[in-house]
Amino acid sequence: MTITTAGPYDRSVYPTAAASWEKGRAAGIHDGYDEGYLRGRANAIVARTKATFPFRSIHVLYVVSGKGLPYSPLDEAVITTLQSMTAQVTVTDPRQPVADIAAQLRPNLMLALDGMDLPLEQVAAVRQLGITTAVWLTDDPYYTDMTTKIVTHYDHVFTLEMNCIELYRQLGCSSVHYLPFGAFPTHYFPLSSPVPAKHEISFTGSAYWNRIYFFNPIMPQLTARNIKINGIWWDRLPDYQSYGDKIELGRWMSPNETNDLYNGSKIMINLHRSHQDDSVNNNALKLPAASPNPRTFEICACGTLQLTDTRDDLARFYKPGEEIETYNSQQELLEKIEFYLTHEKERREIALRALERTLREHTYGHRVNQLLSIASP
């Protein structure tokens, strides 16, 4: 008896399997071409969009937030950018005798990030030395119960929330400025090669209650896609256990890991926290938030399409429908996810326009240059 064997792709023996293989091969080639085209154009945009900023012969004493993650990457971004723009940067933290350091080194400017852990007597002592002081607030308007107690102690106040400007001016601050964070291209940038883990849609961030209430009804539709969710408190979801490896719980990702997630996702969802959540906020005034969060700029810096909930001041930074996409309901989010996952060209063009706008206007170089133009003596 003769036994005939066939290879795994012998079309005469396995015609259905062969057809499936050919279809999968064609899809793989198409996806590979699309990704290569996107990455090539993204890297061309990075290469040609090089902003330059003036150099200042000043010495900056920089006081870090002192809070570790997720603030330490912000500190790194500010420090590195300051070092590229000024003659000298001395870095210290709120636990150190900041005023003594200032008295010894005589910097031109003391800049504190966040400032909530820096003793006010230290700030006062620095000002008594005749040294200009500035604070860049990181979490407005969510902790205004505390920030309102410190802002009047600085010469210059910078806030990432436009709705806090008038509040601080009413308190007597004479120099208050709107300065959102931006993208730090060392941390967030388009990768040249594919990342190992790829997802259709992703979200990273803490599971504040407004996010739980928003996502919970549509989790079945989201998990039907190749979704990745990362952050703390996501076990608040009623059916958390059923989502398996779709959720990575309780770990802060490094900037490199976050950049990989952004680059490895076709769509990044952005959903801002609520200004009314008393379980985590210290915002007795219930001051609403109008300005986009730092993640808005970081996602755009990677050449990835962003779907974000609408903020009143978003259009100042990106044109909705051209450089970023927005949603106002769960149904609209699902519809736009479906559309952009099936319309590669439209998704790609919006993402690339956002990348170019970010590099042209919204990096830490742009922000720090603006800060120094106001606060440097």
As assigned by CATH, the class of the 56-181+364-375 domain is: alpha beta
Q: How confident is the model at residue 36 (pLDDT cuts 50, 70, 90)?
A: confident
Is the model's pLDDT at 72 over the cut of 60? yes
The Cα–Cα gap between 301 and 42 comes to 10
Domain residues of the chain, as ranges? Answer: 56-181+364-375, 199-361
Q: Which pLDDT tens digit goes with each residue over 203-226? A: 999 999 999 999 999 999 999 999
pTM: 0.90
Mean pLDDT confidence for 148-171: 98
* pLDDT number for residue 3: 41
Distance of alpha carbon 175 from its chain centroid, rounded?
27
Residues in a beta bridge with 309: 327
Sequence-distant (≥ 6) Cβ neighbours of residue 162 within 8 angstroms = 178, 290, 291, 313
* pLDDT number for residue 28: 46
For 234-293, the DSSP string reads GGGSTTGGGGGGGEEES-PPPHHHHHHHHHTEEEEEE-PPPTT-TTT---TT-PPP-SPP
Mean pLDDT confidence for 49-71: 95
C-alpha closest to that of 192 among 303, 356, 316: 303
* pLDDT number for residue 35: 85
* pLDDT number for residue 18: 55
At 116, list the tokens: 């909530």
Are 56-181+364-375 and 199-361 the same fold in CATH? yes
State the sign of the Cα–Cα–Cα–Cα dihedral 167, 171, 177, 180.
negative
Do the beta carbons of residue 295 and residue 270 sit within 8 Å?
yes
Residue with token string 């308007």: 141
Residue with token string 């005589």: 106
Mean pLDDT confidence for 86-102: 98
Is the model's pLDDT at 26 over the cut of 70? no
* pLDDT number for residue 17: 53
Q: Which pLDDT tens digit goes with each residue over 296-321? A: 999 999 999 999 999 999 999 999 99
* pLDDT number for residue 377: 83
The Cα–Cα gap between 40 and 30 comes to 15
Q: Does domain 199-361 have CATH number 3.60.21.10?
A: no
